[in-house]
Amino acid sequence: MEDKVLVSKSKFTECVDEIATQITYLNYGEDTYELSGEDGQEHVTIFTEEAQEFYSATFDDIERLINSTLNVWANSGEFTMDAFNNIMGGVDFTESLNQLKEL
């Protein structure tokens, strides 16, 4: 299997969010949004409860689809040796790092 393609978590989330939001709007049309009922937030537009449930499920489905078909993943912020080796053009620095640890 090919190595995972890691992209920034914010860019990945932004992409999945945009697709899920558009699909939600296509399904619910004018019933997608409502004004918030929270004090001080009356001017804020939010998903209706039904649209929010649909959006959340759709977001998860899109994320899984991108992961499984494109092998593209949000970078969790962990910097692994595999990620470093990929950045360095596939050169395996693991043994060199292990030797340095022994010094």
Q: What is the pLDDT of residues 2-38, one digit of tens each?
A: 789 999 999 999 999 999 999 999 999 999 999 998 8
Q: Is residue 65 part of a domain?
A: yes
Which domain does 41 fall in, by range?
A: 5-73
Query: CB neighbours (10 Å) of residue 28?
Result: 16
Number of domains present in the structure of the chain: 1
Q: Is residue 88 part of a domain?
A: no
Q: Is residue 43 part of a domain?
A: yes
pLDDT digits (tens, 9 = 90+) for 81-103: 565 556 566 666 566 656 666 65
Q: Is residue 82 part of a domain?
A: no
Angle made by CA atoms 64, 12, 19, in degrees to the nearest 5: 70
pTM, two decimals, is 0.70
Whole-number Å distance between alpha carbons of 51 and 43: 19
Q: Is residue 36 part of a domain?
A: yes
Give the pLDDT score at 40: 87
